């Protein structure tokens, strides 16, 4: 035989293209590294959460890029740009809802992932850095949830963030400086929004990419921990490669996530409330559900000792949590042999659930709060029903010339505070039309005021009454209006102006 018989047989061919690629990229080696990771004790459903988190993170990045195409991080335009996404962009509300629900899903799966790691004792045996990188990721995800919440700049997000950033002033000595640093001033405004935007879109995601890489690297370095009966340092149980069974389990979980998020986003789109009004003193702020427990916890601490409850206790818990693999050195992994660890985990978990539930209960029990929260919900629902109104009543007007805005693609013009009178008049009319719709005027006066059998035509009403007379008419309706069942028109002066502008435009 010739010398060729000494060389190893060539690897199984997967087709010419694959082989061509493999010789240049080393694809076989990469796939081997990625897919043949041994799992002691074999594939299990308990291990799916890490991949689930990775999937949600990627989904958040993709939907986030889409939102960033439209979003404008300024106090003047943030809300109208999110309203535009929600109400005018094709599938905009769906993609935004995926992003909103994705954030909640991330927190839920994170809790499951941590719970699994904790109960299986998978942090043991040379996995201290792996655990620490996971703790950093947990903090980063909570930071994403906090910074993203402000971006829509609706009432809910504005007031919740005002409360959230206020907590910083509890920090001794530097608290107020810290708060001003995060807010970019004493108040929440455009600088706060650009700060939160930069954190939410550049800084924290960059850190998450970095720490996901570190986390996965350290995980592969330590190896999968396997079932609780396995030694965390020298696995002895027969192992099974990641591909195909574990990969299939992970992918099935991902599929469940896709379906759940898709159905939720489709059938229950994430709401957007009216634009934040910092002067609204009645607004009752409430954080998103995952911050509810902490929110409730804050209620117990007042006065000089509040720093203990608001900072010291959470910090001590955080250090105990992050330091876990450094002081829990036993290699025992079975939960029933670790009563202290499991009990403390259970107490913290049950405590958090209890506080969260209590927070919702408190709201229901206080009739004033319950009524105000219900009102806020109604306002949000009413706002969601209104058609998209190009902004900008009473906003400071930049000096963009109408020529410039006419040259822009139509939807970017929508974000501009209109400078030409005609543009702001159009906005006023559009707003008036929305009020005409939402107050059901059309149910008697017909769509566009064409008139019906029950109520007269409103087209041309501007010739009959001046705006001042119309306003007087609404404040003092004629007997035949009341008799005909026309409800009293109660509106804010701004809305009244808009409605009259709309009626006046019906020609």
Nearer to ligand HEC, 323 or 456 (CB): 456
Nearer to ligand HEC, 178 or 473 (CB): 473
201 vs 316: CA distance, rounded Å: 30
Smallest gap from Cβ 87 to ligand HEC, in A, equals 22
Smallest gap from Cβ 491 to ligand HEC, in A, equals 8
Nearer to ligand HEC, 26 or 487 (CB): 487
Look up residue 154 and give its DSSP letter: B
15 vs 13: CA distance, rounded Å: 6
The SS3 of residue 39 is strand
Smallest gap from Cβ 465 to ligand HEC, in A, equals 7
Smallest gap from Cβ 379 to ligand HEC, in A, equals 18
70 vs 86: CA distance, rounded Å: 11
Look up residue 201 and give its DSSP letter: I
Cβ-closest residue to ligand HEC? 484
Smallest gap from Cβ 486 to ligand HEC, in A, equals 3
Smallest gap from Cβ 434 to ligand HEC, in A, equals 12
Smallest gap from Cβ 449 to ligand HEC, in A, equals 8
Residue 185 main-chain phi, psi, to 5 deg: 155, -175
How far from the centroid of its chain's Cα atoms is residue 427's Cα?
Answer: 29
Smallest gap from Cβ 431 to ligand HEC, in A, equals 13
CA dihedral over 379, 381, 386, 389, signed as positive or negative: positive
Nearer to ligand HEC, 163 or 486 (CB): 486
Using a CB cutoff of 8 Å and minimum separation of 24, what contacts does 28-35 make? Answer: 34/242, 35/241, 35/242, 35/243, 35/247
Smallest gap from Cβ 47 to ligand HEC, in A, equals 60
Nearer to ligand HEC, 75 or 499 (CB): 499
414 vs 434: CA distance, rounded Å: 16
444 vs 9: CA distance, rounded Å: 85
Of 36, 37, 18, the closest CA to residue 27 belongs to 18
List Cβ neighbours of 283 (8 Å cut-off, separation of 6 or more).
Answer: 155, 159, 277, 372, 376
How far from the centroid of its chain's Cα atoms is residue 289's Cα?
Answer: 11
User: Helices marked H in 71-121 — which ranges?
Assistant: 78-87, 92-119
Smallest gap from Cβ 180 to ligand HEC, in A, equals 45
Nearer to ligand HEC, 3 or 480 (CB): 480
Nearer to ligand HEC, 272 or 500 (CB): 500
Nearer to ligand HEC, 144 or 499 (CB): 499
Look up residue 269 and give its DSSP letter: P
List Cβ neighbours of 369 (8 Å cut-off, separation of 6 or more).
Answer: 284, 362, 363
Nearer to ligand HEC, 213 or 454 (CB): 454
Cβ neighbours, 10 Å, residue 101? 21
Nearer to ligand HEC, 316 or 478 (CB): 478
The residue ranges that bind ligand HEC (CB under 6 A) are 439-441, 443-445, 454-456, 458, 461, 464, 473, 480-481, 484-487, 489, 499
Nearer to ligand HEC, 80 or 498 (CB): 498
Nearer to ligand HEC, 80 or 455 (CB): 455
Smallest gap from Cβ 456 to ligand HEC, in A, equals 5
347 vs 334: CA distance, rounded Å: 19
Buried b (16+ CB within 10 A) or exposed e, 225-241: bbbbebebeebeeebbb
494 vs 507: CA distance, rounded Å: 22
Please give the structure tokens belonging to residue 391.
């902004």
Angle at the Cα of 489 from the Cα atoms of 464 and 437, rounded to 5 degrees: 85
Smallest gap from Cβ 493 to ligand HEC, in A, equals 15
CB-count exposure of residue 322 (10 Å: 0-12, 13-18, 19+):
middle
């Amino acid at each position: 035989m010739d010398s060729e018989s000494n060389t190893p047989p060539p690897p199984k061919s997967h087709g010419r293209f694959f082989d061509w690629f493999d010789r240049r990229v080393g694809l076989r080696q990469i796939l081997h590294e990625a897919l043949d990771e041994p799992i002691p004790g074999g594939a299990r459903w308990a291990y799916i959460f890490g991949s689930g988190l990775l999937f949600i993170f990627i989904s958040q990045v993709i939907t986030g890029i889409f939102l960033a195409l439209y979003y404008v991080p300024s106090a003047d335009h943030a809300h109208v740009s999110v309203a535009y996404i929600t109400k005018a962009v094709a599938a905009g509300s769906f993609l935004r809802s995926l992003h909103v629900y994705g954030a909640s899903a991330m927190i839920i799966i994170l809790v499951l992932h941590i719970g699994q790691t904790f109960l299986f004792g998978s942090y043991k045996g040379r996995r201290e850095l792996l655990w620490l990188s996971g703790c950093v990721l947990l903090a980063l995800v909570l930071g994403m949830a906090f910074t993203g919440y402000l971006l829509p700049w609706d009432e809910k997000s504005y007031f919740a963030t005002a409360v959230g950033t206020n907590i910083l002033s509890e920090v001794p000595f530097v608290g107020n400086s810290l708060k001003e640093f995060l807010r970019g001033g004493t108040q929440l405004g455009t600088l706060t929004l650009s700060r939160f935007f930069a954190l939410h879109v550049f800084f924290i995601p960059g850190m998450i990419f970095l720490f996901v890489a570190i986390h996965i690297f350290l995980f592969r370095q330590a190896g999968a921990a396997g079932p609780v009966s396995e030694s965390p340092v020298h696995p002895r149980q027969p192992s099974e490669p990641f591909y195909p069974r574990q990969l299939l389990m992970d992918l099935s979980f991902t599929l469940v996530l896709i379906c759940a998020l898709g159905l939720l986003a489709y059938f229950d789109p994430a709401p957007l409330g009216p634009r934040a009004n910092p002067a609204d003193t009645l607004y009752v702020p409430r954080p998103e559900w995952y911050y509810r427990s902490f929110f409730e916890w804050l209620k117990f601490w007042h006065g000089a000792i509040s720093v203990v409850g608001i900072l010291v206790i959470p910090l001590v818990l955080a250090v105990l949590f992050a330091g876990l693999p450094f002081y829990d050195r036993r290699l025992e992994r079975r939960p029933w042999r670790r009563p202290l660890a499991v009990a403390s985990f259970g107490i913290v978990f049950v405590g958090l659930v209890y506080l969260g539930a209590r927070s919702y209960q408190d709201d229901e029990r206080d009739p004033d709060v319950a009524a105000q929260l219900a009102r806020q919900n109604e306002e949000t629902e009413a706002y969601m029903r209104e058609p998209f109104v190009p902004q900008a009543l009473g906003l400071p007007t930049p000096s963009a010339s109408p020529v410039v805005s006419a040259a822009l693609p139509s939807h970017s013009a929508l974000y501009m505070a209109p400078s030409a009178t005609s543009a702001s008049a159009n906005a006023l009319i559009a707003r008036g039309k929305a009020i005409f719709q939402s107050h059901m005027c059309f149910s008697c006066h017909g769509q566009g005021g064409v008139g019906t059998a029950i109520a007269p035509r409103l087209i041309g009403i501007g010739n009959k009454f001046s705006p001042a007379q119309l306003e007087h008419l609404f404040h003092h309706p004629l007997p035949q209006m009341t008799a005909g069942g026309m409800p009293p028109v109660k509106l804010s002066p701004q809305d009244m102006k808009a409605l009259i502008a709309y009626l006046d435009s019906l020609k």
